[in-house]
Structure 1
Amino acid sequence: MTAWDSEKIITALQKYNLTPDKIHYVVSTHGHSDHIGNNNLFLNAKHIVGYSVSFRDKYYMHSFDKGEEYCINDSVKVVPTPGHTLADVTVLVTTEGGQRVALCGDLFEKYEDIEDPNVWLEAGSDDPVQQMRNRLKIAEAADWIVPGHGPKFQVTEQIRNSLHRQAGNAPV
């Protein structure tokens, strides 16, 4: 969220009896200001911002650029999904009930960009072909998608088929 949204974040955490100092990982799907604006609230957390992994003044190398996933635990992993920026990542979570949820930032702007690709293209894409392919990859891996600028939505076969058609038309 933006630098002006700190109260929203703190209030949301309080609903779950959490405070920023109890958070161990903060994942920002990419480095745009509307996605990293309050990372400073989480001073006890390891931060993953796009392909960058850090804790305090230490930076760690991880091969996101080679397609490697970063496993936080058995239920949470961070996968590279470049396109919107060349260092985008998506968080894949498997719930206790077995549902697969993708928190994907601006890989998907919102539900409406499934049928109208101009929504995500006009929002900016450093590599539209990679973004199109990674949109399909995440739709194949997830039951639910939490996009960068809209409410979560369930991934249906219709959505997967639409993304397949779009990716099939992508130049190689």
Structure 2
Amino acid sequence: MGDARFGWFADAMDLRATDRVLEIGPGSSPSLSLLAERVTEGRVVGVERSATAIARAAQRLGTPSAAQVNSGRIGLVHADLARLLPEQVLDGIDGFDKILAVNVNVFWTKRPTAELAVVRKLLAPGGGLYLCYGYGDPDGASTSAKPPPGRLEERLTEAGFTVRTLASGDLLCVHAVLD
């Protein structure tokens, strides 16, 4: 996986070839392609509120990953998470095994009640939410600003999730499953 942090996030998520993965706010990063490298038989969908980021992500996916996009293995949806309807992303599946959000601040800068309600609807039974933060290396010093893990844990627990926190170098991942 090209970007060391996405390799660490994928390891933290214990990604499997058949997983169905939703990434919240992929922006125009290479994350969807990097996730699809591990999810070779499943599906990766990105939901992004920025039209500009969607256009850039589609352009990025258009060259090396065109076959994956055309086969339906990678999808992009332009929507705000709080107003996302399940039918916009589920496309014939009963839910996502893993939902990932990298450096998405809505989960700690406010009470994400609407966003977590949508996540609950989109998770498959036994699925997990992964809130990941950091821009550096899993083996380097912690230099980027990150939310206090306690704040994330509190908000997720209030919403009915059980939480486990992982950290390495500059990276933080809070894994949440429904009780």
TM-score by length of 2: 0.36
Of structures 1 and 2, the larger Rg is shown by 1
Q: Which protein, 1 or 2, shows the higher relative CO under an 8 Å CA cutoff with sep ≥ 6? A: 2
